[in-house]
A and B are shown apart, each in its own frame.
Chain A
Amino acid sequence: MPTLTIDNQIITVAEGASVLDAAVALGIVVPHFCYHHTLGAIGACRQCAVTILEGSQKGLKMSCLIAVEDGMVVSTCEEESVAFRGQVSEWLMTNHPHDCPVCDEGGECQLQEMTIGAGHGIRRYRGNKRTYTNQDLGPFITQEMNRCIQCYRCVRTYKDYCGGEDFGVMGSQQRVFFGRFKDGPLESDFSGNLIDFCPTGVFTDRANRFRTRSWDLQQAPSICPHCSLGCSTFPGGRYQELQRVRSGGNRLTNDSFICDRARFGSDWNNHPKRPREARISGEKVEFSYALELLEERLEKLVEEYGGEALRLLGSPRASFEANLLLKNLAEKYGAPAPYYDAHPRRAFAARMAASIPSGQLASLKQLRDSDLILMVGVDPLAEAPVLALALRQAARAGTRIVALDPRPLELPCDFEHHPLTQESLLRGLSAPEENELLESLRQQLEASQRPVLVGGGELLGGEGLRLLLHFSESCCGSHDCLIFPVLHGPNSFGGGILGATGDSNRNLIEDLENGNVRALICVETDPAIEHSEPGRMQLALSRLEFLAVFDHLPTNTVATADIFLPTRTIYECAGTFINNEGRMQAFDPVLEPGIPIVVTGSGGHPPRQFETTPPGSAPRSAVHLLQWLLKDRNDLFGLRRQIVKELPCLRDLDRLEAGDNGRRIADCGDKLEESRTEIWAQEGELQVLPITARYGSDLYSRWSQSLTSRFEEPSVWIHPVEAAERGFVNGQKVVLRTVVGHFHLPLVFKAKMARGRLIVPCLPGTPLEVFTPGGLSLPCKIYSEVDNA
């Protein structure tokens, strides 16, 4: 590792690091624009000039392009480099408008900081400034091209890193333009990264325009709750309103990127219908009254009917701490161990993932560095979008990617797709040695150095993941074949850990239907949406003597609960999620709960209402509620220490800090010897597979009004050959008959999907919302609307 001197300070850095990296590590500010630690150096802006006094190349050099050498001596203070940096800054500012007071970037603008850092103050240019006509880039991003300083970061982010195809560089000389060929919404699912990567105010958050200054925001490191990847985020809010989500910087997971669902799908937190008051049978009551009543009723119930009559349902949305306390609550009342996912197949997938030895799980970083990736039953853009970005980075480095999946997959990179049905995938995995394709892939995985198997819990289920684990063990050549399981929610894996230790071989709905259960407590979950058979679940719930719900989303089950207690969201309390690779990551509260304060513009006085607490501030964290019922007086840190004592595999839990890289769990004990028989449909029977849509299928994006523009129209998909055999044409209106109902839908041809199957995306607010992804395909029949009549 080379040691060098910069401004009389000595530092040792990694081989291959640039002089700029070394200066940054020393805390020396060398202004720069085009360089970004993830995107790399391109030497375009010429802002980072320093003087190399000793080294193989001497004189004024761009520090981002010069690799460190042992014994190098660098000065950032030599007159010539100081003067040059000032000049570059003057050049960059010749056309930059003086609109900082009305620019949303103001206060967190790299251009402001670096201009000051470069020492440029007075612009000598007195001519006209160059101006542009801005484009309408859709509902998420505002473009203000006059502010552009041509650092090329946006195009390197959108096109090179994220693989977007509808954005680029146009023009030349001083009229370089960064945008789309013509106006229109940006198509990439990662478009919002433009906001983070633009060093000035060219690309800003449209929904949040003119609303806040960065210094007025309350911000805290957090974890994205939309999928199981646990991307690090940095949300900010003001006036009790969550206003924006930016990417965090965990280099082991999402690096500096998040998807648009994570960034623009956060206004569920401010939803006008969000339940913020405790309710008993639908009537608003004091929070403490409801809580005491709940305790009273629980005690009475247990006294009368025994603990068996009570069931507890945790959730992949709830923090690990809340799920664990639920287990303690079950023990307190002598109730059976809780369920951690209302969807039994998902719960089993989570248990199976959690049973994979920790050393065999891959991180997103390992996936980016892998040399062969086999994806089985995963649609990254729908189920774990940032996974698609990691795949792209691997592909850019030359890694081959093979996908086995019935869906018409799209990825922002080249890959081989074998459209096999869910059933033939599962059958293939159950006897891979008899399957020609799997056998040849096995040999290739065995021969590669850093192979990774990506397995989708939604499509494969626990049984499929178990088979995939066996398959990966048969692929171990000189190196382990790592597994990257994709699960349903941010804490599915955590629920899997807890589920594996209890009696998990039960099915909530059967328990409810056999009539022995009288009460159910749901913690941040709506079984009537999340169970694989929503209609049947709704009926089963109505048979309960009493239903208690702790939640923060305006679900139907909240409305029908006998006792409802509002909970704080992840933006309003601290906690831990365990992501799909077993990484424990903490989140901190950003805001106090409360109804967002509306700034009135009409000069009117706010309503004269006198209360001792802010409106809507009643919600408490699920952890707090459960601790109250348990009479557990630990603070969060004490609670985590107690968890570490009980579950040694989580030994680093009490050392977590929000915003760090998180810590992997250790192996949780014996391998899960659980297996479930699933009846897989035969090839040749027409089946319909409900799948996760890119937007709307997860509960948080379902209640994010800002994302509705990205929701697709309901339709049923079919392979064109399949359709031709039945005499259907593309776009034709058909009737789909299934056990859950019949649906009038347009038929959409998808040439890249599996034959012999129909596919429906599960979309909220449409008739298709009665389907839940994560199950097996269902028998169905399809008619043209005319025949049906």
Chain B
Amino acid sequence: MSSTPQLLFKNRKPGRTAFLKEYCKTGGYSALVKALKTMSPAEIVQLVKSSGLRGRGGAGFSTGLKWSFFPSDKPAPKYLVCNCDEMEPGTYKDGELLAADPHQLVEGMIISAYALNVDEGYIFIRYAYEGQFKKLQKAVAEAKKAGYLGKNILGSGFDFELHLHGSAGRYILGEETALLNGLEGKRPNPRLKPPFPAERGLFGRPTTVNNVETLANIPHIINGGSEWFKGLARNPEGAGTKLFGLSGHLNVTECFELPVGIPLSEVVEVYGGGVWKKRKFKACLPGGASTPYLIAEHMDIPLDFDTLAAAGSRFGTAGVTVFDDKTCMVAVTLNLLQFFARESCGWCTPCRDGLPLVCWLLEKIEKGQGTMGDLEMLKEQYRHICGRSFCALAEGAMGPLDGLMRLFEQEVIDHIEKGHCPF
């Protein structure tokens, strides 16, 4: 169990936070020194690309590839924005990371900014992460004092300013373009793409937006190299470790740093201590509320982006929420859909008006008032919402509905036929 190398959680100790002194003791800021003194920005981008690091915010896009599209030769200002608006139900890994070791993110951002030739950065933090906000404030102040932030960092001639910005607290702010609007002080509706943020982002300038965990991995890749990083994963296609936030009907619901490619069975049985109350595993959300369910037959699939996509789900944020066999999946889906309908920003019709209609149908079925026609209508709603909304929010909301229709159709029919919830 402790055989997994700990990168992101290496300084994590219960109840305390590693600040500058402790962070430096375990090699903190050595990657920054190495990057600034011995590597060119292009070399760093290439290294990250070859390391196989994929975005940890949920979409899983290659970080190096994303960076290679960034117009780093355009004149300043350009921005690096860290998305720490972690609000996906079942996901709390970034919060854990920042509470344990905030300097990792700061160092990661400085190196990334150097690689992208960006001189200003923002960390956009979730409303509820008040404690983490204060810890980051302290970390940024320490880094500034130590000369890691500001003008002419470590004599390299590279300048970087880092600002913190507290979110107003809506799920939509995790969508990168809505986040940029929020950061500009505007209403956080997503923006039309193209232009992509790399071309016209924050305040109309080239911007890249990365997740906390993604950026925190950068110093480790600089120090360890791309081959080492790749080798951390269990499966040959994977790379690195991943923070898994366990929740739901497990005996242990904590956050663990585990290798990418670890099978679901190991996560549930070894780290989660098995399903609670000696019940059986029924299903889980593998990567947050917007990922379609996995069931017992998926237990041996290595948990990674491509493998889960092949199984009809998504790796997402690796926030694993487990449901035991006494759980009504219609009720679970309704609960999740109510969250998404509530968090819709109200911009586009499929999301604003489509999701409440889905909720209404699920509620009817859950109450035992549904008909087979309602089931057909649900399927129709899924077809019309998927891929046709303005941003990915409604698409994500369709994840659990997709899982319900595909894996638990009989359970839905039971509700309709029995005229009540069978659980």
Interface set of A (CB-CB < 8 Å, partner B)? 42-47, 49, 60, 65, 83-84, 87-88, 91-92, 94-95, 124-125, 127, 150, 152, 168-169, 171-176
Contacts and interface: CB of A to CB of B under 8 A. Distances in A.
A47 B342 CA distance: 22
Most buried by A among B172, B342, B346, B390: B346
25 contacts: A43-B192, A44-B347, A44-B348, A83-B384, A84-B384, A87-B354, A87-B380, A88-B349, A88-B350, A91-B353, A91-B357, A95-B353, A150-B346, A152-B347, A169-B187, A173-B341, A173-B343, A173-B345, A173-B346, A173-B356, A174-B341, A174-B346, A174-B353, A175-B346, A176-B346
A125 to B, nearest CB: 6
A45 B192 CA distance: 13
A175 B343 CA distance: 11
Interface string B363-374: 000000000000
Given A42-B192, A83-B384, A173 B352 contact: yes
Q: Is the interface of B mostly helix, strand, loop or mixed?
A: helix
B345 to A, nearest CB: 5
Contacts of B381: 87
Q: How large is the interface on B (under 10, 10 to 19, 20 to 34, 35 or more residues)?
A: 20 to 34
A172 B346 contact: yes
A567 B349 CA distance: 53
Contact of A84 (B187, B356, B377, B388): B388
Contact of B356 (A150, A152, A174): A174
A367 to B, nearest CB: 24
Contacts of A172: 170, 172, 343-346
B352 A176 contact: yes
Contacts of B172: 172
Contacts of A45: 348-349
Interface string B389-423: 11000000000000000000000000000000000
A580 to B, nearest CB: 35
A88 to B, nearest CB: 5
B349 A92 contact: yes
A150 B377 contact: no
B360 interface: yes
Given A87-B380, A173-B344, A174-B344, A46 B350 contact: yes
Contact of A46 (B346, B380, B389): B389
A94 to B, nearest CB: 6
Contacts of A60: 388
A125 B360 contact: yes
B347 to A, nearest CB: 5
Nearest to A84: B384
B235 to A, nearest CB: 33
Contacts of B350: 46, 88, 91
Nearest 6 A-B pairs (CB), nearest first?
Answer: A91-B353, A176-B346, A87-B384, A173-B344, A172-B346, A46-B349
Residue of A87, A173, A174 ringed by the most chain B CB atoms within 10 A = A173
Contacts of A87: 354, 380-381, 384
A91 to B, nearest CB: 4
B349 A44 contact: yes
Given A83-B384, A94-B353, A46 B348 contact: yes
B353 A171 contact: no
B16 to A, nearest CB: 38
Contacts of B353: 91-92, 94-95, 174
Contacts of B377: 124
Given A84-B384, A91-B357, A47 B349 contact: yes
B352 A150 contact: yes
Contacts of A49: 388
Contacts of A47: 349
Contacts of B390: 43-44, 46
Contacts of B341: 173-174
Contacts of A84: 384, 388
